[in-house]
Amino acid sequence: MYKDIIKIVSGDITKIPEVEVIVNAANNQLEMGGGVCGAIFRAASGDLAKECKEIGSCATGEAVITKGYNLPNKYIIHTVGPRYSTGENGEAKKLESAYYESLKLAKKNGLRKIAFPSVSTGIYRFPVNEGAEIALSTAKKFVDENPNSFELILWVLDEKTYIVYKEKYEKIIKE
């Protein structure tokens, strides 16, 4: 069941037309950042920055939604993952919340196909191994609690991150 819904691929999240919404690993100010966030802002166009400025901010572990503008997707969900320091400051719970709140917001908006990057594992330095486990376990939990809410929950990753996710995927997303 899970393998039909939860999937991972290596690629560019700004070029995934088969999903209605992509997730941006955002900063609290919802401003253009580096990495995936910068790529999404560049691909979407200047109107995205304007809409984000109107929203204002997003707390760590929360999520907000905007239009997709020039992306092949109707919407962008912006979620803020935690900056990793010691792992003893609730980072895991905040990362789980970022994924869960994104899925909740997509469901609330009737969006059944979503694509995620690996939230917080870039410049926020969350360990990829632990981040992958939290990402996939949270998706599995959400599917269990909300059956038939999603047709596709996809992670779009760079090749190095994909290798780590693939190992976790085989352990967590059984069947």
CB 78 within 8 A of CB 66: yes
Alpha carbon distance 126, 156 (integer Å): 17
Specify the number of domains making up the chain: 1
Tokens 């997003």 — which residue? 58
Q: What is the pTM of this model?
A: 0.97
Tell me the pLDDT tens digit for each residue of 25-50: 999 999 999 899 999 999 998 799 99
Determine whether 125 is exposed, middle or buried from the number of CB atoms within 10 Å of its CB (0-12, 13-18, 19+).
middle
| Mean of the per-residue pLDDT values of the chain | 96
Alpha carbon distance 134, 62 (integer Å): 16
Could you list the residue range(s) of the whole structural domain that residue 116 is in? 2-172
Along the 175 residues of the chain, how does pLDDT read in single tens digits? 799 999 999 999 999 999 999 999 999 999 999 899 999 999 998 799 999 999 999 999 999 999 999 999 999 999 999 999 988 899 999 999 999 999 999 999 999 999 999 999 999 999 999 999 999 999 999 999 999 999 999 999 999 999 999 999 999 997 5
CATH code of 96's domain: 3.40.220.10
